[in-house]
Structure 1
Amino acid sequence: MLTSQLELYKERVRVTKQNNYLNKFLEADQRVKHFEQQGQFQFIHDRDTIRELEKQQDKLELVVNYYKRKNEEFQETRLILKRQMSEKEDSYHDTIIDLDDKLKKNVDLVLKLGNSLQGMFMLGPKPLSVYDQQLKQGLGYSNPYTLKQAIS
């Protein structure tokens, strides 16, 4: 009887050890499944994050391209406006030079006119002067050039 109990006890110890190994195996298997689930969850999360970042990158590339096009348009507009400004500036300079030439011609013409009036007066007949008896001097100007100077 003792031997049978010993056999029974040994059998229980062996079964308990097997159960311990089985429990350890099951625990390890559960940990592996848990790690796999965490790995899958992390993989899905990382994949979603990557997709979101790729979408943001695409949006940013669109924005960068938009601003590059705008910058090119502004550069072209700047060049056109600069060219137009230099053309207008050149035409203004030409106009100023033309006006200066016209001014010189007009000044010369006025001087020639003044000289010719003076010459005509000097060559022409003497005007009759009207003498005022009370003031004891002549009325009016005998020279139209001096009249012009007195008026101005």
Structure 2
Amino acid sequence: MAEPAAPRLDDQVCFALYAASRAVTSLYRPLLDELGLTYPQYLVMLALWEHGELSVKDLGQALSLDSGTLSPLLKRLEKLEFVRRERRADDERSVCIRLTDKGDGLRSKAVPLPGVIGDAMGLPLDELEALRATLRGLTASVNAYRESRPGV
């Protein structure tokens, strides 16, 4: 009886996702260096540019990050004077994140970035939108699977 073939690297969807993510993130790096941001910090800023202000809890949910990962990002952004962290008057357990004028000023410098990244991907707009929808569906499916099987 023949031994089953070992899984091949190039056949793994997880590797294709990993390689694509690394390629895109490395493309962002020099663009974000000009803004003084790392990629995770850029994601925080995108959420705040979109919503104006968010609680740490809501920001974590929007970015799929836990507070242990998010807190150092927010401290660094606060040190850079891009955001302010403030305890809510109505609930001292909740911390609200707000853009500073300096942080809001970065918005105009970040406007061209999605276009540069989109051009580098080399896909027509309809294919980029379909890819984004597929990846969101994949994320939702994997999260639902994990939630239904604790320990996996």
Say which structure is richer in helix. 1
Q: Which has the larger radius of gyration?
A: 1
Larger relative contact order (CA 8 Å, sep ≥ 6): 2
TM-score clears 0.5: no
TM-score, normalised by the number of residues in structure 2: 0.23
TM-score, normalised by the number of residues in structure 1: 0.23
Say which structure is richer in strand. 2
